[in-house]
Chain A
């Protein structure tokens, strides 16, 4: 039972446009959500997080939106740059429990 799902295995975007990566979850107890970015031959690196008490969190070009009623979160990258090309994982948990990761979405930003 996949509690965190990233239904798009890949996404291609033109440089300068917006990238929107989506993530759905089933566990209503999740209260903390993260996005990780992974380049080939490297480990995942933390990108941005959001607590369930918020519906939006911004960090530079990256914004995460949380829709608790729909059990859905999204990562917006504006403007997209070729260096953003990577695999993005969303993850979720609730206090005292492990992170559960989605399957990842490969983002390709074309120059």
Chain B
């Protein structure tokens, strides 16, 4: 049982480059989330999805876009990377919006 997986694990980008982070879950969860973790700031919600084909903004959505074309996948895109987007990105899923979330292993992104 893989749970929540994320690809890639690590990536270095130059300012202005674009990339997509992929999250996949095999628990048939309706809800999926993208967070970023920065030192001392905990986990901040970027975007989330309450089901296939739906997305919504979280606390820090600027500079990111998301898509949920399939129930098991949630993609996070950076169209024009900035150094301020250097962070560790976590994907999570849950069966209910307000209860236990299950996290992937994270993607470490460095923007130079």
Contact = CB atoms under 8 A, between A and B. Distances in A.
Given A94-B98, A99-B101, 11 more contacts: A4-B42, A32-B99, A36-B103, A42-B106, A43-B90, A43-B106, A45-B103, A49-B100, A98-B45, A103-B40, A104-B40
A93 interface: yes
A43 B98 contact: no
A89 B103 CA distance: 13
Given A43-B4, A44-B90, A96-B97, A101 B43 contact: yes
B42 A97 contact: no
Contacts of B100: 34, 46, 49
A83 interface: no
B40 A9 contact: yes
Interface string B74-111: 00000000000000001010000111111111100000
Interface of A: 4, 6, 9, 32, 34, 36, 41-46, 49, 89, 93-99, 101-104
B51 interface: no
A92 to B, nearest CB: 10
B52 to A, nearest CB: 19
A101 B42 contact: yes
Most buried by B among A96, A97, A101: A101
B41 interface: yes
A11 to B, nearest CB: 15
Contacts of A46: 100-102
A54 B100 CA distance: 17
B97 A98 contact: yes
B34 interface: no
A43 B43 contact: no
